[in-house]
Amino acid sequence: MSVLMEIAIFPTDVGESKSRYVAEALKIIEESGYPYQLTPMATIVEAETVEELTALIPKLARKIEEMGAKRIYSVVKFDIRPGRKNRLRGKIESVERALREGPDGQRS
Amino acid sequence: MSVLMEIAIFPTDVGESKSRYVAEALKIIEESGYPYQLTPMATIVEAETVEELTALIPKLARKIEEMGAKRIYSVVKFDIRPGRKNRLRGKIESVERALREGPDGQRS
Amino acid sequence: MSVLMEIAIFPTDVGESKSRYVAEALKIIEESGYPYQLTPMATIVEAETVEELTALIPKLARKIEEMGAKRIYSVVKFDIRPGRKNRLRGKIESVERALREGPDGQRS
Amino acid sequence: MSVLMEIAIFPTDVGESKSRYVAEALKIIEESGYPYQLTPMATIVEAETVEELTALIPKLARKIEEMGAKRIYSVVKFDIRPGRKNRLRGKIESVERALREGPDGQRS
């Protein structure tokens, strides 16, 4: 199974900049060992199971709370697809292939 | 601490209607014993900790997979606020109070 | 066509409480005349077209900016279904029907 | 002003693969002329105003409907920050800077 989790998590009570908090959250994701990609709006992590990914969420929240946040917001999206692998790269390749084939091309 | 989790989870490969899947997911949330509210776009659950709520997500995904889905999508939002309680009701009451007080009223 | 839009929009640089901003945003939705439902995590609005609903978003953002916010975050979900009506109520009724019928019941 | 919009939009009634639809949506974003970045979970677009970005959403929905979808789902996030520019790159650079400076470093 391949599960992609896209997560944005940040304090909403501490001024405009959030990069200090995102950086600390990113270290926890890095240490987890799962492949990930940082985007301008979130971090995308890939694992074999939903459990592995949801276990990250409380760790990220606790870290941001320890840094002094009194209110934390998070948006998380999951794309779960049994029987697939390496979708952190594979999904973008599928779209690129569809762009070459056009709207009537075979699905992939 | 009060944590609100809003979750939408459904298969994306099985035809227009999703209510059969939402109903089965709702039973799992009901059985968890946490207070919850079903909305037209998601279900909102309240608990003391982030861990309690994230533990629900793999259970919901597994149920929908067992029902035959080959691709599952989920959007989850968290609103984490240490030191508060009963926010499933309290947040709407705060907005209603702010509506009465007007834009310059004291925050609550 | 029935389009449901669920929107959460709030400043992320102005302290813990957001209810003052949510209340002002809600007034704009109220004045739009579309049926809506306030939940503890967002507001859900129903209209005939996607255009009608997306036109609300810049109005809400501008109001919150005028109230002094220097950074605004928003999460919006759309559920678009041609040929349906009154889904603000209808979707919850479908789930309740599925709960009565059980997992093998006819879809609705 | 800089506004980032992250959008995922896809049919939920047409089988496992969504890449054909994502590719057609991406063409519309490409033609809009705004800078964008495709990620494994969404597309992020940057513009000066919220209006410019929300105007894209009905176009994407209509295209997917024309391709035959009977139910369309979309998740959109906005990060609105007056007085900033080029945040499609700038936000990731801020996080990388915070990673070098550590948790006590100056915010950027």
Q: What pLDDT is attached to residue C82?
A: 85
Cα separation, B2 vs D90, whole angstroms: 34
Cβ–Cβ below 8 Å for D70 and C77: no
Task: Give the rounded percent of residues in chain D with a pLDDT score beyond 70.
Answer: 95
Cα separation, A55 vs C22, whole angstroms: 31
Cβ–Cβ below 8 Å for B74 and A78: yes
Q: Which residues of B touch D18 (CB under 8 A)?
A: 12
Structure tokens at D36: 């964008």
CATH topology of domain B2-83: Alpha-Beta Plaits (3.30.70)
Predicted ipTM of the assembly: 0.92
Band of pLDDT at residue D105, cut at 50, 70 and 90: low
H or E element: which one contains D7? strand D2-11
What is the pTM for the complete model shown? Answer: 0.94
Contacts of D78 (CB under 8 A, 6+ apart): C9, C57, C61, C72, C73, C74, C76, D3, D4, D5, D6, D50, D53
Q: Is D89 helix (H, G, I), strand (E, B) or coil?
A: helix
> Does residue A108 surpass a pLDDT of 50?
no
Chains that touch A (3 or more CB pairs under 8 A): B, C, D
> Which tens digits make up the pLDDT trace of A16-51?
888 999 999 999 999 999 999 999 999 999 999 999
Q: What pLDDT is attached to residue D107?
A: 44
Band of pLDDT at residue A107, cut at 50, 70 and 90: very low
Q: Other CB atoms closer than 10 Å to residue B68's CB: what's the count?
A: 10
Q: Which residues of B touch C97 (CB under 8 A)?
A: 19
Band of pLDDT at residue A104, cut at 50, 70 and 90: low
Compute the nearest-CA separation of B66 from chain D (Å). 16
Cβ–Cβ below 8 Å for D19 and A88: no
Is there a contact between D76 and C72 (Cβ–Cβ < 8 Å)? no
Cα separation, B1 vs B50, whole angstroms: 9
> Which tens digits make up the pLDDT trace of B27-78?
999 999 999 999 999 999 999 999 999 999 999 999 999 999 999 999 999 9
Average pLDDT, stretch A3-8? 98
Q: Which residues of A touch B72 (CB under 8 A)?
A: 78-81
Give the chain C residue nearest A12 (alpha carbons): C12
> Which tens digits make up the pLDDT trace of A44-98?
999 999 999 999 999 999 999 999 999 999 999 999 998 888 899 999 999 999 9
Q: What is the CATH number of domain A2-101?
A: 3.30.70.930
Contacts of A90 (CB under 8 A, 6+ apart): A84
> Which tens digits make up the pLDDT trace of D30-76?
999 999 999 999 999 999 999 999 999 999 999 999 999 999 999 99
Structure tokens at A16: 């405009």
Average pLDDT, stretch B5-23? 91
> Which tens digits make up the pLDDT trace of C61-99?
999 999 999 999 999 999 999 888 889 999 999 999 999
Task: Give the rounded percent of residues in chain B with a pLDDT score beyond 70.
Answer: 95
Q: Which residues of C70-106 are buried (b: 16+ CB within 10 A; e: fewer)?
A: bbbbbbbbbbbbeebeebbebbbebbebbbeeeeeee
Q: What pLDDT is attached to residue D35?
A: 97
Q: What pLDDT is attached to residue B105?
A: 60
Q: What pLDDT is attached to residue C107?
A: 44
C68-71 long-range Cβ contacts below 8 angstroms, 24+ apart: C68/C11, C68/C14, C69/C11, C69/C12, C69/C13, C69/C14, C69/C21, C70/A16, C70/C11, C70/C13, C70/D81, C70/D82, C70/D83, C71/A16, C71/C11, C71/C12, C71/C13, C71/D79, C71/D80, C71/D81
